[in-house]
Structure formats: structure tokens, C-alpha cells
Structure 1
Amino acid sequence: MIEIELKGYANEKIFERVRATFEFMRKEIHEDIYFNHPCRDFSKTDEALRVRIKRFNGHFEALLTYKGPKIDELSKTRKEIEVNIDNVETYIELLHALGFKEVLTVKKTREKYYIEKGVTITLDEIEGLGKFVEIEKLAKDEKEVEKEVKRLLSILKSLGIERFERKSYLELLMEKLNLSEGS
């Protein structure tokens, strides 16, 4: 699948606009543990591998996610492969055994809202970074990307978002902490 995603910096006023405009789905707590490949530096290849631990409504869910390089110049659109995992510790042990190194853990509180079938918008509060809004749509192929990026961008602009960000939360935190992914 192709994940078409745009992200913008937000404040409480923008959060309130989203809450008033779209249908609330749920609040989630995420703990994203990022890994670097033993033979190539994901920060240089623009890839990501993470284990996401997600808690919501008394439920627990964990996913192993690979994200390929971004495929356009405006958004964070990329190929994404996700696998549900049931034993986080065992998967992390497996990654370590294969030579993968933990880079950083990103913690966030996320409110998820429904826009329309296949399109969601989230209010993210990232520990150490602040508030962001992300809008996302999954697509089957790259033919949809240009049209959908423009449409999703217009939704974000209509909410008052003026400053956009293509870097991941991991990249932003690494910069803030003055770390390199290989460290």
C-alpha cells in the first residue's frame, strides 16, 4: 500500500477546529521504537523500521512497520508494509539478533478523526516536540498521489495550517536532540 500523508504544525486553535469539524474515532497512546539496519543507514536511504505499541479504549495493539523512501516532493507519501505482532519483546529480540539497533523511541498521544471513507486526520502531541496535525489516505498505487496530495493539502489549509513538515517525528526529535541515526 501507498500511504499518502501530510503533516503540519498545529496549536490548540487548530486542534479545536478539527474537533468541531470531523467525527471523533478514538484517542490512542503510541510508543514507536525505531531501528536502524545493520548494513545501511535508514537516515540516508529515507527508510524507517519501527515497532509501534498502541493503546486505546483498554486495548493493546502492536505493529512492525517498514516505510520506504518518500515518493514525492511535497508530502510524506511512501510505501508502507505493516504486520501485526503479538509479542513485542520477542520481535525486538529478533531484530537485535539480526543486527538491528534501536535508535530512539517516540511517544505520542493521538486523537483520530474520520473525514471520509479511507481518509483520517489526527491530532498528535509528541513528547518533546509539541502539536501536529496529520492527514492520511491509503492508496493502491502511485497514480493517485498527485491528485490526493493536493486535495489533502487543501483540507489542512482550510483548517488554518500554514507550516508543513515532511520530516518524520523521529527525524525532528533526532535533530532536536542533536543525534545521528547511526548513533
Structure 2
Amino acid sequence: MIEVELKGYADDSVFERVREEFRLIRREYHEDTYYQHPCRDFSKTDEALRIRIRRFNGHFEAFLTYKGPKIDSVSKTREEIEVQINDPDEHARILEALGFTEVLTVEKIREKYYVEKGITLTLDEVEGLGKFVEVEALTEDKRKVPELVEKLKKILFDLGVTRFERRSYLELLLGRAEDETP
């Protein structure tokens, strides 16, 4: 599956517009722990491997997710392979036994909204980074990516987003840590 995604910086007015214009699906708490491959530098190959713990409405879900390199120069579009897991701690132990090392855990509160069939929008409050808005569509057809990117970009522009971000929350947090290192 190809995840077509655009992300922008948001403020209270963008959050308010989304809450007024779209239907809330649910509010979630995410804890995303990222891992580094023992033989391949994901920061150089533009890949990611994470365990996500998602809590909502008293429920708990966990996923192991691989994200491939971005496939265009505008969006965060990339192949995504995700499987549900029952015990994130045991899966983390397996990864570590195979030589993977934990990089960082990203924590965020996410509100997920329905835009139209196949398109969702999320409001993210990321610990240590602030507020963001993401709009996402999934496709199996790589040829549809440019058309979807334009459609998603228009949605964000219409919400008042003026500054876009291709880097992941992990990259932003790691960059911030580097900037703060003396």
C-alpha cells in the first residue's frame, strides 16, 4: 500500500477550522518507538521501523510498521507495511535480539477526522514539537500519487496551512536534539 501524506504546521485557527468542518472519528494517544537497523542507516536510506501503541476510547492497539523511502519531492508519500501485534514489549525484545536499537519514542495526541471516502485528516499535538495537521490517502496505484498529492495540498491550503513539512516527527525531534547539543 502507498500512503500519500502531506503535513503542515498548524495553530489554533487551523485546529478550529478542522473541528468545525469535518467529522471527528476519534481522539487517540500515540506512543511511537523507532528502531535503527543494525546494518543499514535508516536516516540515510529514508526508511523507518517503529512500534506504535495507540490508545483510544479505553482500547489499546499496537502495530509494527515499516515505511519505505519517500517517492516524490513534495509529499511524504511512501510504501507502508503495517501489521497488528499483540505484545509490543515482546516484539521490541525480538527486534533488540536481532540487533535493532531503539532510537527515540515520539508521543502525540491525535484527533482523526473523516474528509471523504479514502481521505482522513489528523490534528497532532506532538510532545516537544507543537501542533501539526496531516492529510492522508492510501492507494495501490503509483500513477495516482501526483493527482492525490494535489488534492491533499488543496485541502491543507483551504484550511490556512502555509508551511509544509516533509520530515517525520522523529527527524524533527532528532534535529532539535542536535541543535541543542553544545
Name 2:115's counterpart in structure 1: 115
Gaps of 5+ in 1: none
Counterpart AA for 1:33 = T
What amino acid is aligned across from residue 130 of structure 1 in structure 2?
G
Tell me whether 1:47 sits opposite 2:39 in the alignment.
no
Query: What is the letter of the counterpart of residue 168 of structure 1?
Result: S
**Does the residue aligned with 2:39 lie in a helix, a strand or coil?**
coil
What is residue 4 of structure 1 aligned with on the other side? 4
Structure-to-structure mapping, 1:24-103, within 5 angstroms: 24-103=24-103
CA distance in 1 between partners of 2:77 and 2:130 (Å): 22
Give 1:141 deviation, angstroms: 2.1
Counterpart of 1:152? 152
Task: Normalising by structure 2, report the TM-score.
Answer: 0.97
Structure 2 distance, partners of 1:44, 1:97, is: 23
Aligned to 1:134: 134
Write the distance in 1 (CA, Å) between the matches of 2:128 and 2:77: 24
Q: Percent identity?
A: 64
- Structure 1 position 55, deviation (Å): 0.1
Letter in 1 for 2:58: G
For residues 72-131 of structure 1, what are the alpha-carbon distances to aligned partners after superposition, in whole Å with 9 as ceiling and x for unaligned? Answer: 000000000000000111100000000000000000000000001110000000000000
1:175 aligns with 2:178: no
1:161-172 equivalence runs, <5 A: 161-172=161-172
In the superposition, the TM-score normalised over structure 1's length comes to: 0.97
RMSD: 0.7
The equivalent residue for 1:21 is: 21
Distance 1:101 1:91 in 2: 13
- Mapped to 2, the partners of 1:131 and 1:19 lie a distance apart of 14
Tell me the SS of whatever aligns to 1:178: helix
- The structure 1 segments of at least 4 consecutive aligned residues displaced by more than 6 Å after TM superposition are none
